[in-house]
Each structure stands twice: as C-alpha cells, then as structure tokens.
Amino acid sequence: MYMLQALDIYKSFGHLEVLKGVTLQVKKGEVISIIGPSGSGKSTLLRCLNRLETIDRGLIEIEGEIMVSTGADKRAHYGNENDIARLRRKMGMVFQNFNLFPHKSVLQNLTLAPILVQNCDAKAAEQTALALLEKVGLAHKARRYPFELSGGQQQRVAIARALAMNLIYCVLMNLPQPWTQN
Ligand SMILES: Nc1ncnc2c1ncn2[C@@H]1O[C@H](COP(=O)(O)OP(=O)(O)O)[C@@H](O)[C@H]1O
Ligand SMILES: [Mg+2]
C-alpha cells in the first residue's frame, strides 16, 4: 500500500494549466524530491495533496483512503470535511516565506516603501517598479498578489523590492543608477 498516491492530477488557475496529468506514488520510508524550474507547479502539487488547493481532475489517496476522486462527469469529488480534516492531520508542511505584504499586489509591494518612506512620486515609483519587474521576468505578475506566485517568483519580487528602494534612493540623491547603465 502507498502512503500517498496521486493519479493523473489536473489543476488550472483560469487559463493557466499548471498540473497536466501528474502521477506520484510514495511508499512508507521513501524520501522524494520534486524538482523543476520556478513556476513549474511544484508548490501547487503539494498544496493540492494537502487540500490547500482543490484539483480539477484526478485521484488522491492517503494510506489507502480516498480524499478526492473523479467520477464519470470528469469532475473531482471530495469526501466530507471531517474525513478530509482527519487525513490532513496526518500531513505536515513547511512553507516558504519571503515577507511580502500579503494584502498588497506585487506592484504595490514594490512602490509602498518608496512612496511612504522616501516621498517618491507615485507615478515614478510605479514606472521604476515595472522596470524592475521586467528585469526579474515578472512584469506579467504586477497585478497579482503574493499568494498567487510561486516561491521562486515571490523571492524575485522580494529582490526587486529591495532594488526598488535602492534605485529610487539613487534617483533622489542624484547618484548614478546602476540599472540604466547596462
Ligand atoms: N492561486 C493562484 N492563482 C493564480 N496563479 C497561481 C496561483 N498559485 C500559483 N499560480 C501560478 O501557477 C504557476 C505554478 O506555481 P507554483 O506551483 O507555485 O510553482 P513552483 O514550481 O515554483 O512551486 C505559476 O505560474 C504561478 O504564478
Ligand atoms: Mg514553490
């Protein structure tokens, strides 16, 4: 018997198809690493296994007990809340944490301090923030919230936020701007 079995898992966020038929079987005592590029769906898979996210399709079994399965209607059906809560208590999870403001968008995370602390003009702060997001490959996530990003993406936002403070400091003090020179 598997400790954990996930068969043919599908999960999308709107038009973004993240998990496309993932199968994973874990035996007692096994140590498994899930590796892949930032944003490829590793955390989403783990969150689905722990019912922090719901899957669209597939089957998840914990110690032989079905948590969710897919019927003839091709939709995922979860067990009742009590059963799921009991299964979840068997699982532990350690989260990544990058101290982004959870209630602010990615863009707001980058502009908040420059505007409040450094009295930066809101438009300028936003332009700088967008340029930095472009640099770290996340311009398309500007309006998203930290919880919607992968761990690596959050890390890159945190890096861009640190740079935003630095860059706007350079502009205010009329110092050379490292980013505009290359
Ligand atoms: N709640 C969400 N809403 C919208 N998009 C999300 C959400 N969670 C994750 N994503 C997107 O799904 C993709 C996979 O994210 P994730 O599973 O966290 O990746 P990683 O492999 O780095 O852990 C990323 O493009 C991410 O932006
Ligand atoms: Mg992750």
Ligand 1 center from residue 44 Cα (angstroms):
6
| Ligand 1, residues at Cβ distance < 6 Å | 13, 16, 18, 36, 38-44, 148-153
Ligand 1 center from residue 122 Cα (angstroms):
29
Nearest C-alpha neighbor of 179 from the set 151, 159, 154, 158: 159
Task: Among the bound ligands, name the one nearest to the CA of residue 42.
Answer: 1
Give the pLDDT of the chain (182 residues) as one tens digit per residue: 899 999 999 999 999 999 999 999 999 999 999 999 999 999 999 999 999 999 999 999 999 999 999 999 999 999 999 999 888 878 776 666 668 999 999 999 999 988 887 778 889 889 989 999 999 999 999 999 999 999 899 989 998 988 887 766 566 666 555 554 43
- By the 10 Å C-beta count (0-12 exposed, 13-18 middle, 19+ buried), 130 is classed as middle
Q: Which letter does DSSP use for residue 90 in this model?
A: T
Ligand 2 center from residue 18 Cα (angstroms):
12
What ligand 1 atom has the least distance to the C-alpha of 47? 17
- For the chain, list the domains and their CATH numbers: 4-88 (3.40.50.300), 106-180 (no CATH)
Residue with tokens 């590029």: 37
Task: Among the bound ligands, name the one nearest to the CA of residue 44.
Answer: 1
The reported pLDDT for the residue numbered 177 is: 57
- By the 10 Å C-beta count (0-12 exposed, 13-18 middle, 19+ buried), 79 is classed as middle
Whose C-alpha lies nearest to ligand 1, atom 7?
Answer: 148
Q: How many CB atoms lie within 10 A of CB 152?
A: 16
> What is the Cα–Cα distance from 163 to 126, expressed in whole angstroms?
13
Q: What are phi and psi of 60, to 5 degrees?
A: -130, 130
Ligand 1 center from residue 24 Cα (angstroms):
19
> What is the Cα–Cα distance from 143 to 121, expressed in whole angstroms?
19
What ligand 1 atom has the least distance to the C-alpha of 141? 27
Ligand 2 center from residue 69 Cα (angstroms):
25
Task: Please state the pTM of the whole predicted model.
Answer: 0.69
What ligand 1 atom has the least distance to the C-alpha of 45? 17
Residues paired with 129 in a beta bridge: none
The reported pLDDT for the residue numbered 181 is: 40
Task: Among the bound ligands, name the one nearest to the CA of residue 38.
Answer: 1
> What is the Cα–Cα distance from 136 to 103, expressed in whole angstroms?
21
What ligand 1 atom has the least distance to the C-alpha of 36? 21
